[in-house]
Amino acid sequence: MDLEVEPPTQVRAGRLRPAVDLPAAERAVADLLRALGRDPDGVHLSDTPRRVAASYEEMLTPRDFDLTTFPNDAGYDELVLARDIPMISLCEHHLLPFRGVAHVGYLPGGRILGLSKLARVVELFARDLQVQERLTMQVADWLGEHLQPRGIGVVIEAEHMCMSVRGVQAAGTRTVTSAVRGALRENPAARREFLDLIRG
């Protein structure tokens, strides 16, 4: 008797965002330079508007990818954790970067995920004008919706340039946010295991 094998599934992952208007962004940067008392036509600044506009376009445009899930044939029911995923985003209040690491874990249900996709999902939401709290929830909610695990946990630790280089100038300060769902929220032992593994 032939056993029916469930195939992998793929979902094209991306987010609809308005395209960056590069010529308008370049003009805006040139205007900003003038407002700051600088000459955007000077020898060292003449290409700065183009560079800045291109930099923001890159930081605000996540790469599309295929979210591939596989049947959990082995019935694996323990925590899967990707730790120290590098991430960078832009504070929507100051347009300055915040950067750090994300830790993403899940308790599989009927499907498991290609591990690189955990990092891809972090990037999907990080490449935007963000606040860290919302970014953390978006990663957890998106994975919960598309993977349907028994539990999901996301912790992000990041240093915010808007806090490090201006205002209070508290260099080295890291902000930690978390979002836990399902069994990782409801089961104290599972939650403790998740947090302990993050701490190493």
Residues labelled catalytic: 91-94, 132, 160, 162
In the block, residue with structure tokens 């912790």: 155
Rg (CA), the chain: 21
**Residues 49-52: contacts with CB within 8 Å, 24+ apart?**
49/25, 50/26, 52/25, 52/26
In the chain, where does DSSP find H-type helix?
22-35, 48-59, 116-126, 132-147, 161-164, 183-186, 188-199
